[in-house]
Chains A and B, each alone.
Chain A
Amino acid sequence: MKELSGGKELYGMVIDLDKCTGCGACAVACMAENNLSFREDETDKLRTNTWMRLYRLNNGQHFPGTRVAYLPRPCMHCQHTPCVSVCPVNATQLDEKGIVSQIYPRCIGCRYCVAACPYHARYFHWWDPVYPKGLENYLNPDVSLAMRGVVNKCTFCNHRYQRAKDKAFLEERRDLKEGEYITACSEACPTRAIIFGNLKDPNSQVFRLSKSPRTFRLLEKLGSQPKVYYLTSQDWIRRQGDNYLKNEAARKVS
């Protein structure tokens, strides 16, 4: 994987699809953590701000052979980003720790990055953020609100990184310990299906899991080098992780 710097940090995520129950706690936690607004009528799913979106997969077979799985899809924080280079105003950047950020006050809302992302991980703010009465008291003070007309996306809860770094600084440490910085979705997952951490730390769980033979990444053939790894032992799920020609075989688990 291309490395931007010789730094010690490159954050990534591993999601075990065999453990995911599709409960949606990750999506709820993400919305609450990142001050994502919602409207009274959210039936138009093509305009819903779901930074962490759950896809329901099925193996396409009839009963009793039917199998279902859920695939939580945050931003892939690609190391070879389809979105960053296209932005005309440098409003989105890949930082040295591997996080693809979005600068709301600089974004002009051209949506070129939305078009370039094959994962649909980028969202346009179609409306001004409005919160039900009283809810504004519960907004996260560490997360800035995106105004109408700009693109927003999963930040791997970058503000939690800042907070962890501040704490480490006060304790006169330079490096973060494992688990000090994790995303809201991984914290909320009741089955520990979402593991987050430093992919460059050989002692981290995320490093170990990302090397598992059960891993695959979404649309690897496109060359975007996502830093979100999925785990599964089921070949039919793995096959849905990328496009294959009719007679082309996907990499099997064993």
Chain B
Amino acid sequence: MNETIMLKDEALIPEGLSRCSLFKFSLWIFILLLVVGWGLLAAFLIFWKGLNQTNMNDYFGFALWITFDLAVIALGAGAFFTGFLTYLWGKKELKAVINFAVMIGFICYSGAILILTLDIGQPLRSWYGFWHPNVHSMLTEVMFCITLYLGVLMIEYAPLVLENRKINANAFAHHFAHNLHQLMFIFAGTGTFLSFFHQGSLGGMFGVMFARPFAFRGGFFIWPWTFFLFIASAIASGPAFTVLITSLTQKVTGRKLVKPEVLALMGKIAGSLLIVYLILKFADTIYWAVVNLPARGLSFMGQYQGPYGFWLVVAELGIFGILPAIMLMNAKLRMRPGWLALASLLSCAGVVFNRFIFTVVSLALPVMPFDRLVTYWPSWQEWAPTIAFLAYGALIISLSYRYLPVFPQERELNE
């Protein structure tokens, strides 16, 4: 009797896979929705009353949200880079994680765009970037590329949604998904092209600010060095983030989802790229400290003041840079899931730190000698949408994990 009135969703769950009870799942979704609701409440206040609801000011025009956007876009680079390695570089073993990497990318980019709409003073004018574009602005390039790339991610995510058992029973959906799969190398290529440019332009945004000595860098042709550094750090941390979230999902679900050697390969790729990035970053930092800053009458140590002290450099380049690079390059550690996850976490924290430093410290430092250092702490209306984004990500992952065949190796690994 009970069975007949209880709601069941087995018909939607991929064949041969076991999932938790619908009740447990619903409870989890309910908690996530509460957090999302909290973020929506803050978003409503921002749209209604304006950005005075935040703790931003005329010194901190960029703050938590821009740090967050830059960080999640860098971490979301796992999608395009794994796609590039899988479809264009020929690393077929990465097909085991490509679905998940694309999904993480989709979450990161859609979340970043949603937060960006909150972050501009006139959200209803956000389309002006397309209507009155200033081709000299790095931000214009970012606006074009992230919007287009979100479209690419949606196309890449679509076949997975169409592979849901119920949807796939429809002949059109089945063939459409199949054909999209066949064409995926084109979208992987498009995504790679778009991503390279907007990851770079996000760095370029800071590097071109020639009147902000903390951020300004020289460069090649129209691109400041930060353009290339942001690409390098994104492709290093993106795969690490995919490994981290996969490890976390395995821990939460208690199931093996991806073969350890595939994750170890991702870790090795992330580690190798992190080393390349760190070499470039050290070279850039030394040149900046020895040439750029003194030319403007500034010293290297003078750039680290108050709470934004030298510890940021030690944390960013040491604890969250060199340390994870060593860990990821160690073959034995890579094969141990806990260590691999820790190294990935440290690497991801490094890119978050880097984006934080470029966003917040660049603006906190006074340029006029008689001006003062300002510090900033976000208001709850800024924290809420940011935390709600994490819940939104967990929501998409939870729903996809339950109802879509995200991990092709799951059945084999749990038999």
Least distance between A188 CB and chain B CB atoms (Å): 23
- Place the interface of chain B in its size category: 35 or more
User: Which DSSP category, helix, strand, loop or mixed, fits chain B's interface?
Assistant: loop
Q: Total number of A-B contacts with CB less than 8 angstroms?
A: 162
B295 at the interface (CB under 8 A from A): yes
Q: When the two chains form their complex, are residues B137 and A86 in contact, meaning their CB atoms are under 8 A apart?
A: yes
- Cβ-closest chain B residue relative to A250: B297
New A-B contacts (13) at CB < 8 Å, excluding given A89-B131, A115-B61: A44-B57, A86-B205, A88-B140, A109-B125, A120-B58, A120-B368, A124-B51, A128-B50, A149-B121, A222-B213, A222-B367, A243-B298, A243-B369
B286 at the interface (CB under 8 A from A): no
User: Which DSSP category, helix, strand, loop or mixed, fits chain A's interface?
Assistant: loop
Q: When the two chains form their complex, are residues A86 and B59 in contact, meaning their CB atoms are under 8 A apart?
A: no
Q: When the two chains form their complex, are residues A89 and B62 in contact, meaning their CB atoms are under 8 A apart?
A: no
Q: Which residues of A contact B370 (CB under 8 A)?
A: 55, 57, 71, 240
Residues of B297-311 at the interface with A, using a CB-CB cut-off of 8 Å, are: 297-299
Q: When the two chains form their complex, are residues A223 and B50 in contact, meaning their CB atoms are under 8 A apart?
A: no
B219 at the interface (CB under 8 A from A): no
Q: Which residues of B contact A122 (CB under 8 A)?
A: 58
Q: Which residues of A contact B59 (CB under 8 A)?
A: 46, 120
A108-B128, A115-B209, A222-B213 in contact; A88/B51 too (CB < 8 A)? no
CA distance A239 to B128 in the complex (A): 43
Q: When the two chains form their complex, are residues B209 and A82 in contact, meaning their CB atoms are under 8 A apart?
A: yes
CA distance A239 to B296 in the complex (A): 13
Q: When the two chains form their complex, are residues A111 and B213 in contact, meaning their CB atoms are under 8 A apart?
A: no
4 closest Cβ pairs, A-B complex:
A109-B121, A149-B121, A111-B61, A243-B297
B208 at the interface (CB under 8 A from A): yes
Q: When the two chains form their complex, are residues A87 and B50 in contact, meaning their CB atoms are under 8 A apart?
A: no
Partner of A115, one of B62, B299, B369: B62
A244 at the interface (CB under 8 A from B): yes
Q: When the two chains form their complex, are residues A124 and B61 in contact, meaning their CB atoms are under 8 A apart?
A: yes
Residues of B136-168 at the interface with A, using a CB-CB cut-off of 8 Å, are: 136-140, 143
- Cβ-closest chain A residue relative to B127: A108
Task: Name which of B125, B136, B211, B371 has the most chain A CB atoms within 10 A of its CB.
Answer: B211
Task: Name which of A115, A123, A124, A240 has the most chain B CB atoms within 10 A of its CB.
Answer: A115
Interface mask (A185-220 → B, CB under 8 Å = 1, otherwise 0) = 000000000000000000000000000000000110
A126-B51, A127-B50 in contact; A242/B121 too (CB < 8 A)? no
